[in-house]
Structure 1
Amino acid sequence: MATVHHWTGLEARALRLALRQSVRTFAGHLGLGIRTISKWEALLTATAPRPDTQAILDTALARADAAAHLRFETFLSEAGRTGGPNGRPMTAGPLGWEYESWTDDLERAVVALSRQDFAFAESLVSRWTSRFSPLRLDDRGLYLFARSTALLGDLQRDQGHVIGPLSAQRSYVTARSLFTQLDVPRRIAQVDLSLAVVAEMSGRLDTAARSYEQLAVDDRLSRRDRARSRLWVGTALSKEGEHAYATRVMLAATQDFEDLTEPEDWSVAHQKIALAHRGAGDLSSALRFIGIARSTATSDTPMQKVRLDTAHGHILLSDQATRDDGLHVLGKAATMAARFGLSHQLASIENIKAMSTGPSRPFSR
């Protein structure tokens, strides 16, 4: 929630409006005279309460409920651009406390996205991207805007909105441009990795494979992200039918995840190795590796549950003896995918079912 480091008449007026109190009621609430409140509202940033009164305002803000805090932030943000004396704008971008709130909202959005709470995540992000224009932001604000846009891309990607004017690809391209303007190499490389995933999801496998190969040895990325790139190189190889080499590449990535103590990535790697073995026709090894993936998964998010069940069902469906079990597991995965709006996963499940009577093919991510 918002905090104020130095109160002026502007912040005091925003607090009164947020509490939905008249000047008289607000004066009584603070234990101050009506003339004092009226002076603040007439002079706004040209006046500041005394130190002891600043503490009174701190207490009043701290005791306000969440709805009042949100109104306070909104009123103050709007006043910061249009509410100066005689209507003159006082600032073109966020105020100091807004940067803190923006950062907090992005962290909350990451958690919401991990739980596939898309509506809440989008509301947290769009709250800021709709309020500010990148052209009017300083470097700090522009960095937060770029992070917000990249996070919006993650949200669109997980919902299956991969290409088009309102898609993950468009958001990632915008984020990459902003990070390039700010000269933040690590963030640029991370967006490049996300764009490679989009290329894979949209069927441009050659483009994705080339990007993954380059990013797997890109020093701009952390060791974890390079290992993820190597894992996706293996996925692309498996889709091209090179299952043996794909397994070797993915096992190397798995060792990195073990060294880095990344249990969730380690589990995902075993899931992908299992699918490579399925593609090679080694169903015994496929079941062994998917068993490891399922038993060691640390995330219980809907997305990961759907991916694990889809991989498991795909493997079971490959053997006539376990076909019914496979259809049952895929049915559970489809129900959860539909419930949480995971359209890309749902399409993959339907594609697996449609191909189940034909030749074995690698699982589509």
Structure 2
Amino acid sequence: MATVHHWTGLEARALRLALRMSVRSFAGHLGVGIRTISKWEKLLAATEPRQDTQAILDTALARADAAAHLRFETFLSEVGRAIYAEGAGGPLAWEYESWTDDLDRAVVALSRQDFAFADSLIRRWLGRFNLRSGLDDKGLYLFARSTTLLGDLQRDQGAVLGPLSAQHSYASAKSLFGQLGIPRRVAQLDLSLAVVAEMSGKLEIAAQQYESLAVDDRLSRRDRARARLWVGTALSKDGNYSYASRVMLAATREFEDLAEPEDWSVAHQKLALAHRGAGDLAKALHFIGIARSTAATDAPMQRVRLETAHGHILLSDPATRDDGLTTLDKAARLAGQFGLSHQLASIEGIRAMSEGASAPRRR
């Protein structure tokens, strides 16, 4: 539902039109003089109602029905496009709040792997403005945040490298946050870029980046613990299972101290894979059991990761190989349903490796 952070004559006129009232009837509806409404209509964004009148306008908008809200947003969007086409600059006052709301909705959509909806919310604003739009610092911040979320979407869909990839989006957002002087956001994007390096197979580079970020004061304690966990992930993928397990265990304890159940569960999943790599299937099954029973989210991405890890461990034992293949099939179906191409590729890689290991050797 539409909201206005700060009213000007422009938004007031849009509300009158949305309510389909004349100047006289709108003045009576608000309890203000006709001259006041006429002033708003003449000066538009160049005038602002008094604080008490702003509250009256808030109430009038809140009481309007859904159809009036839709007309209100449409009128303002049309005005915004006209202003943008004339080169008059960045977002109008009302757009900042709508932009922020849409990005918050995009975060939720991404957590559910609803990529189409998240993409529409993000691109609505990246298509509306660009870096030549006269954006002020608030607009640049929202643009950078939008670009970061676009990178998250591209990463989750497996678009890791290239001009239309997570790497490109993260680098662009990092540059903007650096320009704005927000070191915490810059460090978070360094962490995201390290994930991209790991996903693209640059395990040694990723491990080095994670190690540096694990002690970076720009990051929160939780993000530093995540970096420590991901050091272990990169080491495990590179075959250094013993050291990886020790690093992951330290991160797991940190998540427990921080009372972060989701990260704690994920850490056990990664510990399970490290022990599988080391050949200790009893410990691997122990840790994956903890991860599956304590998973703090039912998001498709995490369900696929858990089932993939479980299947990988089961495949490692000839006695449970068939169960492993069944579990991987389940994970593959879910990954395909939600367009998780990187996870699908990982599952196919596990299958291929397992088939190669079980094939009879020729003499």
Q: TM-score, normalised by structure 2?
A: 0.87
Q: Distance in 1 between matches of 2:94 and 2:288?
A: 47
What is the alpha-carbon distance in structure 1 between the residues aligned to residue 232 and residue 4 of structure 2? 49
SS of residue matched to 1:358: helix
Contact 1:30 1:57 in 2 (8 A): no
Q: Specify the alignment match of 2:160 in structure 1.
A: 162
How far, CA to CA, are the matches of 1:98 and 1:236 in structure 2?
42
Closer, same or farther: CA 271–34 of 1 in aligned 2, 3 Å: same
Q: Given the alignment, which residue of 255, 265, 274 partners 1:276?
A: 274
Pairwise CA distance, 1:305? 0.5
Task: Indicate if the aligned counterparts of 2:7 and 2:49 stay in contact, CA closer than 8 A.
Answer: no
Maintained 8 Å contact 2:155/2:165: yes
Query: Aligned residue for 1:75?
Result: 75
Following TM superposition, by how much is the alpha carbon of 1:73 offset from its aligned partner in structure 2, in angstroms? 3.6
Name the residue aligned to 2:11: 11
Contact 2:17 2:72 survives alignment (8 Å): yes
TM-score (norm 1): 0.87
Letter in 2 for 1:186: R
Task: Determine the C-alpha separation between the residues in 1 that align with 2:349 and 2:258.
Answer: 35
Which of 331, 340, 345 is the matching residue for 2:338? 340
Deviates more, 1:109-118 or 1:68-77: 68-77
Aligned length: 353
SS in structure 2 opposite 1:356?
A: helix
Q: Post-superposition shift, 1:46? A: 6.0
Shift of 1:68: 4.3
Residues 257 and 265 in structure 1, CA contact (< 8 A), matched pair in contact too: yes
CA deviation profile, 1:259-286 (whole Å, cap 9, x unmatched):
1111111111110110011011111110
Give identity over the alignment, percent.
Answer: 75
Alignment of 1:260-275 (within 5 A): 260-275=258-273
Tell me, in whole angstroms, the C-alpha distance in 2 between the residues paired with 1:52 and 1:174.
42
From the superposition, tell whether residues 48 and 296 of structure 1 become closer, same or farther in structure 2 (CA, over 3 Å). Answer: closer
Whole-Å Cα distance in 2 between the matches of residues 163 and 27 of structure 1? 59
* Compared CA separation, residues 51 and 278, structure 1 to 2 (3 A): closer
Deviation at 1:83, TM superposition (A): 5.5
Tell me how far apart the structure 2 counterparts of residues 27 and 322 of structure 1 sit (CA, whole Å). Answer: 79
Q: Distance in 1 between matches of 2:126 and 2:162?
A: 19
Between the aligned partners of 1:27 and 1:340, the Cα distance in structure 2 is 53
Of the three residues 234, 257, 261, the one matched with 1:236 is: 234
- The one-letter code matched in structure 2 to 1:179 is F
CA deviation digits over 1:213-270, x for unaligned, max 9? 2111211111111111111111111122111111001101111111111111111111
Q: Distance in 1 between matches of 2:179 and 2:12?
A: 37
- Give the drift of 1:129: 1.7
| Structure-2 change in CA distance of 1:195 and 1:45 (3 Å) | closer
| RMSD after superposition | 2.9
What is the Cα deviation at residue 18 of structure 1?
4.1
In the alignment, residue 149 of structure 2 is paired with which amino acid? L
Matches within 5 A, 1:66-105: 66=66, 68-79=68-79, 82=82, 92-105=89-102
Given that 1:237 and 1:246 are in contact with CA atoms closer than 8 Å, whether structure 2 keeps it comes out as yes
> Offset at 1:195?
0.6
Task: Answer whether contact 2:106 2:118 (CA < 8 A) is retained.
Answer: yes
1:258 is matched with 256
1:176 maps to 174
Cα distance between partner residues in 2 of 1:349 and 1:140: 42
Q: What CA distance in whole angstroms lies between the structure 1 residues aligned with 2:50 and 2:142?
A: 34
Cα deviation digits, residues 15-62 of structure 1 (max 9, x gap)? 24545x4x65x8657757999977754553466779997666444422
Distance 2:186 2:281 in 1: 39
Looking at structure 2, the residues matched to 307 and 36 of structure 1 have their Cα atoms a distance apart, in angstroms, of 60
CA distance in 2, matches of 1:242, 1:348: 19
